[in-house]
Amino acid sequence: MIFDTHAHYDDKAFDMDRDELLSELKASGIGRVCNVGARLEGSRNSIELAEKYDFFCGAVGIHPDDCGDMDESWLNELRSMAAHEKVVAIGEIGLDYHGFGVYEDKVDKETQIKWFREQLKLAIELSMPVIIHSRNAAQDTLDMMREAHENGLKGGIIHCFSYSQETAKEYVKMGFYLGFGGVVTYEGQRKLTKVLGAVPMENIVLETDCPYLAPAPHRYERNSSLYLPLVRDKIAQIKGISPEEVERITYENGLKVYGLRSL
């Protein structure tokens, strides 16, 4: 069975056929899915999906691009939602420095850092793992994750990992998992190939980030968990092991990071 550790099935891209698609997943070998919040609404929706589908769990958090208006009341609502029995992580949270000077509504660094730190503190307070979004912010993210780790952060996933082999090793030393999805199947991904070759399978999880980042040959299509076998097979090729072994280990890793038992 495959564990999709990072999906956004509450996205409007699934409004036309959400129930039909999700009813297909189990029969297609998708054993678990974590639906991840990026806003308050998305966090609420993640809980609703987890309540509706027994193989779903949820994460609650505010994405760095959506934290511009965040205040203590948002943090308190996240704390309340995190108490739900099917919420397994705080996320996705982090830093996104892509687009400064391009997008007028880009949240400034200071605000992103403030609310990233506060959500990390919340995860530590609640003894919950985190799901980290980090884009063009390698050093600041690593520094803050080191600080949180030293302060007792339980662990978590560096979602859609895109940094260097050296950075990957630093996260592995701290016991974090690295999430890989459709990007590993794209042409020219030499850096990710090197990272996957250097990181132990025990620190790798599969993810889609659906509806985004569909693997080749479906790039630019709507992504879903049904495409994860393509990611599994690519990782198996890079690691020189069987697809079945990749599937087994990453499924177990997903259970471990989220503190779940097999259904």
pTM over 0.85: yes
Residue 182: give the domain boundaries. 2-258
Cβ atoms of 31 and 46 closer than 8 Å:
no
How far is 185 from 230, CA to CA, in rounded Å? 8
**What is the number of other CB atoms lying within 10 angstroms of the CB of residue 253?**
21
Cβ atoms of 19 and 144 closer than 8 Å:
no
Query: What pLDDT score does 99 carry?
Result: 85
Query: What pLDDT score does 235 carry?
Result: 98
How far is 143 from 157, CA to CA, in rounded Å? 16
DSSP strand pairing (87-96 vs 156-158): unpaired
Residue 62 lies in a domain: yes
Strand partners, 210: 7
Residue 84, amino acid: H
Residue 116 lies in a domain: yes
Query: What pLDDT score does 152 carry?
Result: 97
Q: What is the pLDDT along the chain (263 residues), one digit of tens a residue?
A: 999 999 999 999 999 999 999 999 999 999 999 999 999 999 999 999 999 999 999 999 999 999 999 999 999 999 999 999 999 999 999 999 998 877 778 999 999 999 999 999 999 999 999 999 999 999 999 999 999 999 999 999 999 999 999 999 999 999 999 999 999 999 988 999 999 999 999 999 999 999 999 999 999 999 999 999 999 999 999 999 999 999 999 999 999 999 998 76
- Quote the number of domains for the chain: 1
Query: What pLDDT score does 57 carry?
Result: 98
Assign residue 223 the CATH number of its domain: 3.20.20.140
Query: What pLDDT score does 104 carry?
Result: 77
Residue 263 lies in a domain: no
